Structure 1
Amino acid sequence: MRKRTAVIAAVAIVAVGGGIAYAAWSSSGAGTGSVGSTADVNSTISAVDGAGGLYPGHTVSFQVTIDNPNDYPVKVTGISAGASALVNGCAEGTVTSSAVTNPAGTIAAGATGTYTLQATMDTDAGDACKSQSFTMPLTATLSSAA
């Protein structure tokens, strides 16, 4: 009788335990997730130095910095050509800079990059162009480098 009681108890434990495992419910879920993109912030170009040494027909190097106020790295894909404004009698367009395509380097998020450009004074520049500082508007195009 003891043996029979032990077998019945073992079967009962297995049945109850198996019933608990079998009675455990399973389910699945469905729905959606949501994320948003950031907005870009325009960069600014600033002069690093006012390179001197220009005279009619001569070319000098000058540097500009481009900042990246975005939360992601960017690559400068181009910098536009520039032309000087009228300066104290020195004609508009007397000093020009060439466009630059795909300059090297990436600008990290929140950082700045320095770029070297070339400026040339027109061969017909008159005396009014002596000892002047020339400002050229420039535009940079950038793309995400992430």
Structure 2
Amino acid sequence: MRKSIKRAVIAGVAVVAVGGAATAAYAAWNANGSGVAGANATTAQELKVSAAKVTSGLLYPTGTGDAAVTIENPNKYPVTVTDIKWNDKDGVQADKKDCNNTGVYFGDFSKNDIGSNGLLSKLNLRLAGGETKTFTLADAVHMTNNSQNECQGAAFTIKVAVSGASADK
């Protein structure tokens, strides 16, 4: 064979070999699939509340003061507390044994001494996941004029319930 024919044959074989390899690469199979992803939701844990305590604005008959409430969020996600409710049937406890009629009430007393029937609403008390925090509630306690004389100097605790919802991070 002549040199030019040999070169042409070798070049043709090389083109066929390269083209065949390209075809083999193009012939790769696609792999697709579908299925169901799974996840489990946690169960919400109840917020833990320490009794509200009078903190400032020392109470006296017809006086209004602040209260502090400590709330623990045992959940892994943030929570915003929107309402705090006191049930007057739970009463108010005093640290003095002879102070039976405390005359102390819980609610929103910011506008008047009538209050809000034991409810603080439209609050925005935010707790991160796992956080325990004490909040000061302005004008949340009021002492009426029928408080017993034995209640002078007493410290008061008030059982309250809180409600709220999960919050954005």
TM-score (norm 2): 0.72
Aligned counterpart in structure 2 of residue 56 of structure 1, from 54, 61, 76: 61
1:97 equivalenced with 2:119 (yes/no): no
For structure 1, the residue ranges without an aligned partner over 5 or more in a row are: none
Note the alpha carbon deviations across 1:46-91, whole angstroms, 9 max, x for none.
2575537322221121211111111111111111135434764544
Query: Which deviates further from its counterpart, 136-145 or 38-47?
Result: 38-47
Matches within 5 A, 1:28-39: 28-39=32-43
Matches within 5 A, 1:67-82: 67-81=72-86
1:136 equivalenced with 2:145 (yes/no): no
For structure 2, the residue ranges without an aligned partner over 5 or more in a row are: 108-118
Q: Which has the higher strand share?
A: 2
Aligned residues: 146
Which residue of structure 2 lines up, in the alignment, with residue 120 of structure 1? 142
Which residue of structure 1 lines up, in the alignment, with residue 115 of structure 2? none
Matches within 5 A, 1:1-12: 1-12=5-16
Q: Secondary structure at the match of 1:80?
A: strand
TM-score (norm 1): 0.82
Shift of 1:105: 4.1
State the percentage of identical aligned residues: 29
Which residue of structure 2 lines up, in the alignment, with residue 17 of structure 1? 21
Distance in 2, matches of 1:90 and 1:121, equals 13
